[in-house]
Amino acid sequence: MKISYGWKICILLFFSTTINYLDRHVLSILAPELQSLYHWTEVEYSYIVTSFQVSYGLGVVLTGKLLDKYGTKWIFAIAVFLWSIAGMTHALARSVFSFSVARFGLGIGESVNFPASVKTVAELFPASKRAFATGFFNAGSNIGAIIAPLLIPFIALRYGWQWAFILTGALGFIWIICWLLIYKKPKVEVNISTISVKNKSWKQVVFRKETLTICLVRFISDPTWWFLLYWLPKFLNETKSVSTASLGWPLIVVYLMADAGSIAGGSYSSYLVKKGKGIYPSRKLTLLICALMALLLSAVGLTDQLWTAVILIGLGAAAHCGWTANIFALITDIYPAEEVGTVMGVATLSAVSGGIVLSLLTGRILAYTGGYSYIFIMVSCTYIIGYFILTRFIPEIKSTQT
């Protein structure tokens, strides 16, 4: 079966997202071992996590504008090069400060991935296929999270923790070669029906009611994913006695469920659009289902059983990924392709800002309470709150996309 150009590029976006999340996960997988080796406190670990989030947030604002101005091909390639180098430099770190510096560099490079990917989907796919295409490439985040607990402990135990950072970081260079060989600027014949509009200023795009609403929604809901990304291995280790070598299956189950949620959420929304329900009603219904499903996270702290907790977390992760696929698709519904990078940049900055707040709170809540129950209850409610904010301030959209 012949694969269209659009889907070839979407497959490359899937792999860039996989590598992106694999590189992020190395630290969280090795955190129990490194914390024991270098005697980090919970608060110090939160500082290392936050350094990535700060640079990621700064990076997305700059790169969103660069993508809209200069296009995707070289900006994306340069970013993957930078994050690959930064990932490998973790092997040289020995202190909280040096790990924080390495994480800062990683965040700058990795900040390009999602703005570039969403912009590319907006350029190559019609609205009826965007949520599915977005869910597809976004599923790479969970594949990276699945590979990490299988690969990282093996490398670390066999060759030392430094090689876990070096070998995973090197994967980005292979992706760059494939990207530069395959990617070409979309031509007129590509199936896009975006109406050409005059470029607006940064302020005109950012200070739209829709942009500010999406930023607020992502500020509230995205921190859940950052929390799972950096604290889930520690949660399993500290509360369920799961060693670094045994993290594989629990994390695989969680992220396989998250993958299913990403693809199912995108597919269901696209299915409703094709059935004639309308673009925004389709997105809203899917978002509501995801928001209700995320409430299951509130029960994680109520069980002592490992696999009950894993299933509940997996359902919450699936809800998040389905939610994210539709929020990303909604951005491409509202804005023309030449503004998508800018909107994704500021919206991701908002999301990262929320993640920073939650990371700092998590370190302090754990230091004072020694438990995760309050954190899971708090994050479980963020999606339903985000849904009501979204539908209240954006009651309808006027999409020029088909």
Domain ranges of the chain: 5-191+201-393
**Stronger pLDDT, 165 or 204, i.e. the higher one:** 165
Among positive and negative, which fits the CA dihedral 210, 72, 190, 323? negative
- CA atoms within 13 A of residue 349's CA, in its CB half-sphere: 16
**Stronger pLDDT, 47 or 382, i.e. the higher one:** 382
371: alpha, beta or left? (left if phi > 0; alpha if psi -120 to 50): beta
Q: What percent of the chain has pLDDT above 90?
A: 55
Most confident of 120-134, 175-189, 279-293: 279-293
Torsion of CA 198, 199, 203, 209, to 10 degrees: 60
Query: Which of 86, 156, 70 shows the shortest CA–CA distance to 119?
Result: 70
Question: Which residues have C-beta within 8 Å of that of residue 283, sequence separation ≥ 6?
Answer: 131, 269, 326, 329, 330, 333
Predicted confidence band at 186 (pLDDT cuts at 50, 70, 90)?
Answer: low
Q: Please name the residue ranges forming H helices in 241-336.
A: 248-274, 279-294, 306-334
Query: Which of 112, 14, 117, 97 shows the shortest CA–CA distance to 55?
Result: 112
Query: Which of 92, 100, 75 shows the shortest CA–CA distance to 16?
Result: 75
With 60 as the cut, is the pLDDT of residue 190 above it? no
> What's the Cα-to-Cα distance from 344 to each of 22, 109, 153, 176, rounded to whole Å?
22, 15, 34, 22
CATH level 3 topology of 5-191+201-393:
Growth Hormone; Chain: A; (1.20.1250)
149-168: average pLDDT:
93
With 50 as the cut, is the pLDDT of residue 103 above it? yes
With 50 as the cut, is the pLDDT of residue 191 above it? no
Q: Which two tokens stand for residue 105?
A: 């560099």
With 80 as the cut, is the pLDDT of residue 1 above it? no
With 60 as the cut, is the pLDDT of residue 60 above it? yes
223 and 355 Cβ atoms separated by less than 8 Å: yes
263: alpha, beta or left? (left if phi > 0; alpha if psi -120 to 50): alpha
Residue-level pLDDT at 392: 96
Question: Which residues have C-beta within 8 Å of that of residue 344, sequence separation ≥ 6?
Answer: 60, 64, 114, 115, 118, 119, 328, 331
pLDDT tens digits, residue range 305-357? 999 999 999 999 999 999 999 999 999 899 887 888 888 888 988 998 998 89
CA separation for the pair 289, 308 (Å, rounded): 21
Mean confidence (pLDDT) of the chain: 89
pTM of the predicted protein model: 0.76
pLDDT tens digits, residue range 334-345? 988 788 888 888
27 and 172 Cβ atoms separated by less than 8 Å: no
Q: Which two tokens stand for residue 128?
A: 């009826």
With 80 as the cut, is the pLDDT of residue 25 above it? yes
pLDDT tens digits, residue range 227-250? 988 789 889 988 998 887 788 889
Q: What percent of the chain has pLDDT above 70?
A: 95
CA separation for the pair 23, 14 (Å, rounded): 14
Query: Which of 98, 132, 108 shows the shortest CA–CA distance to 23?
Result: 108
Predicted confidence band at 199 (pLDDT cuts at 50, 70, 90)?
Answer: low
Instruction: Choose the weakest-confidence range: 57-71, 280-294, 327-341.
Output: 57-71
Question: Which residues have C-beta within 8 Å of that of residue 140, sequence separation ≥ 6?
Answer: 13, 14, 15, 16, 17, 18, 20, 21
With 90 as the cut, is the pLDDT of residue 162 above it? yes
399 and 194 Cβ atoms separated by less than 8 Å: no
With 90 as the cut, is the pLDDT of residue 399 above it? no
Report the SS3 class of residue 112.
Answer: coil
CA separation for the pair 332, 321 (Å, rounded): 17
With 90 as the cut, is the pLDDT of residue 261 above it? yes
